[in-house]
């Protein structure tokens, strides 16, 4: 019985000749490291970051994927920073700059009637102010109306030559609100009702690759209109 028990729990122990040598272990480790580096430079970097030092990623269509991911991440980060800055810093009189008179443009001719915004309807027969400005690629700007709580302003803006990202919002000392946001928008119009007394308006950013021209028309009830520096 004792001999039978010893036989059941006896296992074969590999001899020294069957174990991998130190040289073989080092060789296997180096092969694994080289394979990981190859994957890093030919797959991971191109597909995730748009970095293609070998050129293989572009041949496989991975580099373009990485460039799109990087561009979208940068855009989201820039938009978030711009929105946060617009909402966290109340606009004071010193931070506002009157819109130069020369920024106004003549009313569109009949040939451009298709892109002409509608006329205000809240007891007004024409727009009070019209502002035209150019945004270069990546550039943003902000225009605010000084309004009392409950005031209603009509607005219409169009983009010539592309589209923009925008944020319609308001701010005052210790208060902020976002009314509407959009990405890749060619135009917008509507009624802006001031949720509180302060500055209410729009922030635009051009995320395209060419200059765009934005034409803003406003009417209704507000004390003045300013372009924020």
Q: For 134-173, what is the HEC assignment?
A: EECCCCEEEEEEEECCCCEEEEEEEEECCCEEEEEEEEEC
Asked if residues 156 and 107 have their Cβ atoms less than 8 Å apart, the reply is no
Kindly state the greatest CA–CA separation across the chain: 112
Average pLDDT on 13-35 reads 81
Right CATH for 93-228 from 2.60.120.680, 3.60.15.10, 3.30.70.20, 3.40.50.10240: 2.60.120.680
- Tell me the domain boundaries of the chain: 17-78, 93-228
Q: What percentage of the chain carries pLDDT values higher than 70?
A: 64
- For 117-161, write each residue's pLDDT tens digit: 444 554 444 799 999 999 999 999 999 999 999 999 999 999 999
- For 76-106, write each residue's pLDDT tens digit: 676 666 656 555 555 444 444 554 444 444 4
**Helix, strand, coil in percent for the chain, rounding step 5:** 35, 35, 30
pLDDT of the residue at 9: 53
């Amino acid at each position: 019985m004792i001999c039978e028990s010893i036989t059941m729990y006896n296992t074969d122990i590999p001899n020294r000749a069957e174990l991998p040598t130190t040289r073989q272990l080092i060789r296997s480790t180096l092969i694994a490291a080289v394979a990981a580096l190859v994957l890093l430079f030919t797959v991971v970097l191109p597909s995730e970051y748009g970095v293609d030092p070998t050129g293989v990623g572009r041949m496989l269509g991975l580099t373009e994927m990485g460039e799109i991911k990087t561009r979208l991440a940068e855009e989201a980060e820039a938009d978030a920073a711009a929105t946060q800055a617009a909402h966290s810093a109340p606009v004071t009189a010193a931070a506002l700059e009157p819109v130069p008179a020369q920024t106004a443009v003549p009313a569109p001719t009949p040939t451009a009637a298709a892109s002409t915004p509608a006329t205000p309807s809240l007891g007004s027969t024409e727009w009070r102010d019209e502002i035209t400005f150019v945004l270069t690629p990546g550039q943003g700007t902000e225009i605010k109306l000084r309004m009392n709580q409950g005031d209603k302003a009509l607005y219409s803006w169009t983009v010539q030559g592309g589209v923009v990202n925008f944020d319609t919002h308001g701010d005052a000392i210790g208060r902020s609100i976002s009314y509407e946001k959009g990405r890749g928008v060619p135009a917008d119009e509507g009624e802006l009702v001031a949720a509180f007394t302060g500055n209410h308006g729009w922030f635009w950013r051009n995320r395209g690759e060419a200059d765009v021209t934005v034409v803003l028309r406003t009417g209704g009830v507000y004390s003045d209109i300013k372009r924020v520096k």
